[in-house]
Chains A and B, each alone.
Chain A
Amino acid sequence: MQKSDYIIEVNHVSKQFEDGKFALDDVSLQIKKGEFVTILGPSGCGKTTLLRCIAGFQVATEGDILLNGEDVTQMPPHLRDVNTVFQKYALFPHLNVFDNVAFGLKLKKMDKKVIEKKVKQALKTVGMTDYEYRDVDSLSGGQQQRVAIARAIINEPEVLLLDEPLAALDLKMRKDMQMELREMHKKLGITFIYVTHDQEEALTLSDRVVVMREGKIQQIGTPTDVYNEPQNCFVADFIGESNILDATMVKDGVVNFCEKDFECVDKGFGEDQEVDVVIRPEDIYIGRLGDEAKGKEAKGKESPWQLHGEVQSCIFKGVHYEMAVLTDNGYELMIQDYHAFEPGTNVGLLVKPEDIQVMKKERLCNTFDGEVLEDNRVRFLDEEWDIPERVAERFEVGEEVEVEVDFNRVNLQDDEEDGVLCGEVYFILYKGDHYHLTVRTDDGDDLYVDTHDVWDDGDRVGIRVAPSYIRLYKKSQESGTKNQD
């Protein structure tokens, strides 16, 4: 048999539940022997489902999973050479610590003396020596977690799966356990696959991070890659603090945002292409605008700062201060610095070229499939919308069209009744001077909205679009060229 470099290969795995929802949507992932891989994402992103498919508790609807080159997609969990540490420990309450840890070995009918030796060894590894005969209910959360780990590693699996193992512990305990898990991983030399929603935990622990959202992998990379070079707005926003701004790639090496041209290191986006930029708050240099700076400006010399603004707020965060600065051209930026600048201070801001991360925009406007109806109406998103007569005239009734609506032309209403369509604010991104919202309609379609109004996650909204802002395109010929505009 051909030996693969990877201990686990997940190939195009999809998992669809009975209600038709996809928990996993074409997920592919390769994991090397001995790696510490973290699957990171918000709740409901499919990370636990992926882990359960690898463990064998759930069977993928499509695709296959290879363990050590062998197809295990349909194999029941007790035959797989992987062990799981469960989120709520799942220790057997009717057994004491020793019997819990020995559970796997006893099933293998091992010699009693060997079992005893191995249990002692496993308990020593997790720092729980002398707890053998304690009742599991009498242990603290952290201790139960250690027993759960001991129970899993005693079987010497090739892969250890950990499902948010530290989620139930308090902060201090969690930090300690993180370090211990890293140590254990080094000592045991086996592959760890770790599921968490805590981005800091993922960055601290792993060799590689897999960021997931809505059943899809968003990015796979080392912690530094994922942090410094997020591939899209979601990753940038989910991992760490960030300033995400609309920008235009002027040409290779020059990007325009906050109405200024900035030097950057990114290339290959084309000219005058709309993009997103991410700047981490700690990557923005901040300094007081002294009189001498103003003086220089007055003399016609260029200011050393790229942006000017006024500090709006300043919060002490322990190691650093977090400040919100409103630039003189109306953009709000978050900045972290060791020095505090009082609100009201006039400051200058500076960003180094290598600290600007440019990302391709996932979409430039809302696009839907539509059908032209009678009486100057068009149907899309399962609703009928009015369109101006002059637009309707260009199409035949019943013609299939592509519908476009700009982000900033979607009108959200407080009262659901006022909208043609109802939806829920699902994801909010602050872009310096406006919010970019994802609104999910009741039918499960997504609309993207740029707005200056403040909405909360989960707000119910009515959705309206003024007739003149609905653009229609013929489906057949123009669909190819249209995406470029």
Chain B
Amino acid sequence: MVFQSRSTWAWPYALFMLCLVVLPLLLIAVYAFTDANGSFTIQNFVSFFTKSEAINTFIYSLAIALITTIICLLLGYPAAYIMAMADFKTPQVMAMLFILPMWINFLLRTIATVELFRMFGLPLGEGALLFGMVYDFLPFMIYPIYNTLQKMDTSLIEAAHDLGAKRHQVFLKVTLPLSMPGIYSGIVMVFMPTVSTFAIAELLTHNKVTLFGSLIQRCFGEGGIAMWNYGAALSLIMLIIIGLTSFFGGDKEDINR
């Protein structure tokens, strides 16, 4: 009987994903390869690669995302390390404090950040953008690293000590290599959303800095229906970039396990 099979239970989810994931993706692809009249064209992609504005924004966005990711890693790893290694009576509380900002919608947090900058008389712009992005995405870096470090068998560290390794050698030769899976997922979790972000950029730079995400948003928002096809093409390009990042990230994670 069909209904006895457990896989029947998956049908609602399959339907859900078909309507809300697969169909929209197909629509994006269709729009990207058609013009306003609905006939096939690759003009949308051609104009992306020929318009220097678009390609510059793209590269700039990647750079901003990269810098954000690096700062998050530099700040997040020590935080995660201290949380996982130090002898806190309640490490969960520490972890919780880092996660707590994530309970609040990031738009609200960003607006609050803008107010903070205004209060201290700091200029909005590129610096503010980086600050806001790091602030927003730091928990996504800390958490996976904390997780891998915490699950790590402490006897491995003891074994390294026992075999003559000094503290820094234990870190470089054992702790760091073994926390790579956490680092990879942290990178993916920070890099992917920062490439496509636009709200933070708009709020924290007063629209002075345009990111790739903002560009796409503008195509759909202000450009009117005529720009939808171009916007779809840009979305598709971003999707491919993000896909590649997560593909490489996920791949390395598997090897390390």
- Are A and B associated in one complex? yes
Chain A contact residues, CB within 8 Å of chain B? 55-57, 76-78, 82-84, 86-88, 90-94, 103-104, 107-108, 151-152, 155
Report whether A57 and B174 are in contact in the complex, using a CB–CB cutoff of 8 Å. no
B162–A93 touching, CB < 8 Å: no
Are A78 and B153 CB-contacts (below 8 A) given A84-B159, A92-B174, A103-B160? no
Asked if B162 and A77 sit within 8 Å, CB to CB, the answer is: yes
Residue among B153, B162, B166, B169 with the most chain A CB within 10 A? B162
Q: How far is the CB of B189 from chain A (nearest CB, A)?
A: 22
Determine if A78 and B159 form an interchain contact, defined as CB atoms under 8 angstroms apart: no
| Docked-complex contact B163 and A151, CB < 8 angstroms | yes
A166 to B235, CA, bound (A): 58
Q: How many A-B residue pairs have CB under 8 A?
A: 63
Q: Is the CB of B169 within 8 A of A86?
A: no
From A84, A87, A90, A107, contact of B165 by CB (8 A): A107
Q: Please name the residue on chain B nearest to A137 by beta carbon.
A: B257
Residues on A with beta carbons closer than 8 Å to the beta carbon of B173 = 103, 107
The answer to whether A155 and B164 touch across the interface, beta carbons within 8 angstroms, is yes
**Residues on the B chain within 8 Å of A103, using CB:** 160, 163, 165, 173
Which of A92, A93, A104 is the one whose CB lies under 8 Å from B164? A104
Which residues of B from 163 to 188 have beta carbons under 8 Å from A? Answer: 163-166, 169, 173-174, 177-178
Instruction: Tell me which residues across on chain B come within 8 A of A82, comparing CB atoms.
Output: 162
- Which chain B residues border A87 with CB–CB below 8 Å? 155
Kindly state whether residue B126 has any CB partner on chain A within 8 Å: no
Contacts A94-B177, A94-B256 given: A86-B158 contact, CB under 8 Å? yes
B156 interfacial contact with A, CB 8 Å: yes
Contacting pair A107 B164 (CB below 8 A): yes
On whether the beta carbons of A92 and B159 are closer than 8 Å, the reply is yes
Query: Looking at the complex, which one of B155, B169, B256 makes contact with A90 (CB distance below 8 Å)?
Result: B155
Q: Is the CB of B164 within 8 A of A88?
A: no
| Cross-interface CB contact of A78 among B155, B162, B177, B256, cutoff 8 Å | B162
B156 contacts A107, C-beta separation under 8 Å: no
Cross-chain contact B163 with A155 (CB below 8 angstroms): yes
Give min CB distance, A344 to chain B, whole Å. 55
Taking CB atoms, residues of chain A closer than 8 Å to B178 are 92-94
Residue B161 is within 8 A (CB to CB) of chain A in the complex: yes
Known: A91-B159, A107-B164. 17 other contacts (CB 8 A): A55-B158, A57-B158, A57-B161, A77-B158, A78-B162, A78-B163, A78-B165, A84-B158, A92-B159, A93-B156, A94-B177, A94-B256, A103-B163, A104-B164, A108-B164, A155-B163, A155-B164
Known: A57-B158, A77-B158, A107-B169. A90 touches B153 (CB 8 A): yes
| Residues of A contacting B156 in the complex (Cβ-Cβ under 8 angstroms) | 90, 92-93
Min CB gap A141→B, angstroms: 15
Q: How far is the CB of B216 from chain A (nearest CB, A)?
A: 40
Q: Could you say which residues of chain B place their CB within 8 Å of the CB of A152?
A: 162-163
B174 / chain A contacts, CB cutoff of 8 Å: 92
**List of B residues within 8 angstroms of A104 by Cβ:** 163-164
Q: How far is the CB of B135 from chain A (nearest CB, A)?
A: 33
User: What's the minimum C-beta distance from B179 to chain A, rounded to whole angstroms?
Assistant: 10
Q: List 11 A-B contacts (CB under 8 A).
A: A77-B158, A78-B164, A78-B165, A90-B153, A92-B160, A92-B174, A93-B178, A103-B163, A104-B163, A107-B169, A155-B163
Q: How far is the CB of A88 from chain B (nearest CB, A)?
A: 6
Contacts of A76 in B (CB 8 A): 161
Query: Closest CB of chain A to B36's CB: distance in Å?
Result: 54
Quick check: A77 and B161 within 8 Å, CB to CB?
yes
Taken together as a complex, chains A and B put the C-alpha atoms of A91 and B163 apart, in Å, by: 12
Are B159 and A86 in contact (CB-based, < 8 A)? yes
* Given A90-B155, A92-B156, A94-B256, A107 and B163 contact (CB-CB distance below 8 Å): yes
User: Nearest chain B CB to A204's CB is how many angstroms away?
Assistant: 26
- Of chain B, the residue at the smallest CB distance from A77 is B161
B152 nearest in chain A by CB position: A93
CA distance A82 to B164 in the complex (A): 10
A-B residue pairs, 3 tightest by C-beta? A104-B163, A90-B155, A90-B159
Instruction: Report whether B169 and A88 are in contact in the complex, using a CB–CB cutoff of 8 Å.
Output: no
